[in-house]
Amino acid sequence: MQIGTSDVDARERLTELQCTQMEIVPSEQDRGRAECEADIAIGRLRLFYQTRGAWGDYMANLLNERFDIMVVHTSDMTTAAESSFQAGYNQRMAEYVNATYGASSFESAMEDVETFRMQRYQEYLRNREHA
């Protein structure tokens, strides 16, 4: 099948759209922070995150074990308002974790997730090379 110029233009535009950051809706960010504050007050700790596969499970287990946080797995299909709400919520949750468990505790956990993720990807690539 031959790809026409309009198909190439459409693909380039789609890639451009996928790489563009979503608009921030300040009122939704504020609403997310406020809801997080209310959840913290009742001990319902959550984090919204678009996770996949083994690293997503690792992240959910790690945050639950270290901080009693439940990861809410989100979709990549979202709106600017929803994304802004989740960003505000997560920012406030990270602040809470750092204030409760020590400076950079949240960032340290996320670094552990990224290390696990990269190890899994490298393992996958090594196995693929030897297949």
Predicted pLDDT at 119: 95
Cβ partners under 8 Å of residue 100, min gap 6: 67
Nearest to 90 by CA among 20, 18, 39, 23: 39
- The model's pLDDT over 14-26, given as tens digits with 9 standing for 90+, comes to 444 433 467 899 9
d(CA 131, CA 19): 33
| Averaged pLDDT for residues 103-113 | 97
Distances (CA, A) of 118 to 54, 55, 122: 11, 9, 6
What percent of the chain clears pLDDT 90, i.e. is strictly above it?
Answer: 72
